[in-house]
Amino acid sequence: MSERSRRGRRALAGLAVAALVAGCAPTGVVVLLPEKGGRATAVDVRQDDKSVTLDQPYAAAQFTRQGPKPFESNADDVQRRFGAALGALPARPIDFELQFELGKNELTAESRRKFDEVLAELAKRPVADVRVIGHTDTSGADELNDRLSRDRAGFVRDELVKLGLKAESIEVLGRGKRAPKYGKPDGPPDDRDRRVEVFVR
């Protein structure tokens, strides 16, 4: 992601009226940004019947009368044109996995430490939506596990509320044993599936 430490100022040409006049050239630019994690990304740019696909970091296109015209942008150009918008991008959603001791509503010692990381992340966000999804391992009946997984999610929600987070901003779900991550659905139970996922955005 481009550096957002400086906010660029972008001079806008006064073309509002001209844009409404038939025959006036369309103007604008689109730039594909480097993606954290190196995923393959792309934007298809279509202007009437002409199209261009941008699929490399800083690949860009200018909208012209003749259709999208490719060019290569760079970090400085992006900062200059888009600094203010980039500086206002929200924090990326983040998720945590907390694991439970067998048969109790008690986090493992390691997950108690991870819970602190959840709090630190929440403290960074002026407003947060939180989703808490409880799971169980694959042993035991569905009905029991549905209830247990909801209880586990509810327990984490209650801890967050005690620390000042508003209950309305926390959604709680239980998936029972339906979505094991570590053990196979028909296989032997894996301790690590006794978990709660906390999604913060």
29 to 88, contacts with other proteins by CB under 8 A? 29-36, 39-47, 54, 63, 68, 78, 81-88
Task: Kindly report the backbone phi and psi dihedral angles of residue 170, in degrees, each rounded to the nearest multiple of 5, phi listed first.
Answer: -120, 120
Name which position in 22, 70, 103, 124 contacts other proteins (CB under 8 A).
Answer: 124
Q: What is the smallest separation between the CB atom of 188 and other proteins, expressed in angstroms?
A: 27
- Rounded Cα gap, residues 13 and 45, in angstroms: 23
**10: which residues sit within 8 A by CB, 6+ positions away?**
80, 81, 82, 83, 84
Q: Interacting stretch for other proteins, rule CB under 8 A, among 117-125, 136-144, 180-188, 190-198?
A: 117-125
The only residue of 99, 107, 176, 195 in contact with other proteins, by rule CB under 8 A: 107
For residues 77 and 55, give the distance between their C-alpha atoms in angstroms, rounded to a whole number: 18
User: Concatenated DSSP letters for 59-111?
Assistant: EEEEEETTEEEEEE--HHHHHHHHHHHHHTPPPPPEEEEEEB-TTSS-B-HHH
In the list 96, 99, 115, 150, the residue contacting other proteins (rule: CB under 8 A) is 115
CB nearer other proteins, residue 46 or residue 187: 46
Q: Residue 26 Cβ, how far from other proteins at the closest point, in Å?
A: 3
- C-beta closer to other proteins: residue 26 or 183: 26
